[in-house]
Amino acid sequence: GAVVSQHPSWVICKSGTSVKIECRSLDFQATTMFWYRQFPKQSLMLMATSNEGSKATYEQGVEKDKFLINHASLTLSTLTVTSAHPEDSSFYICSAAATGGLETQYFGPGTRLLVL
């Protein structure tokens, strides 16, 4: 299957700092990438959908100025958590869908963020 990588896998930061998470599709071109947040023992909560070269579409309740998403190429999307606070601590997972159709999503391994 298609491979999606995510970096870093773990990050611990101080409150007030910004954290950038990268999501890469390694062996396919991804027109669309998705960013999810997952709290312990809960489902995947879609935060935003990003299409290469255009602005991300955020889900209701997700602050676009706090969670900055950039999808500059067909293989890379980044999520920046700005001025992180302890309540932003969570498991962030990206997924990517191939170009050219309504293809299956493939998930990255996730990034566990802990804000102190």
Partner 1 sequence: GENVEQHPSTLSVQEGDSAVIKCTYSDSASNYFPWYKQELGKRPQLIIDIRSNVGEKKDQRIAVTLNKTAKHFSLHITETQPEDSAVYFCAARSGGSYIPTFGRGTSLIVHP
Nearer to partner 1, 84 or 108 (CB): 108
CA separation for the pair 39, 42 (Å, rounded) = 5
- Smallest gap from residue 64 Cβ to partner 1 (A): 17
- Smallest gap from residue 83 Cβ to partner 1 (A): 27
Site string for partner 1, 80-109 (x = CB under 8 A): -----------x-x---x----x-xxxxxx
- Smallest gap from residue 66 Cβ to partner 1 (A): 21
Nearer to partner 1, 66 or 112 (CB): 112
Cβ atoms of residues 23 and 96 within 8 Å = yes
CA separation for the pair 52, 60 (Å, rounded) = 21
Task: Tell me: does residue 62 bind partner 1 (CB under 8 A).
Answer: no
Residue-wise over 75-106: b if at least 16 C-beta within 10 A, else e?
Answer: bbbbbebeebeeebbbebbbbbbbeeeeeebb
What is the chain's percent helix, strand, coil content, to nearest 5? 5, 55, 45
Task: Tell me: does residue 32 bind partner 1 (CB under 8 A).
Answer: yes
Residues of this chain that bind partner 1 (CB under 8 A): 1, 4, 32, 34, 41-44, 46, 49, 91, 93, 97, 102, 104-110, 112
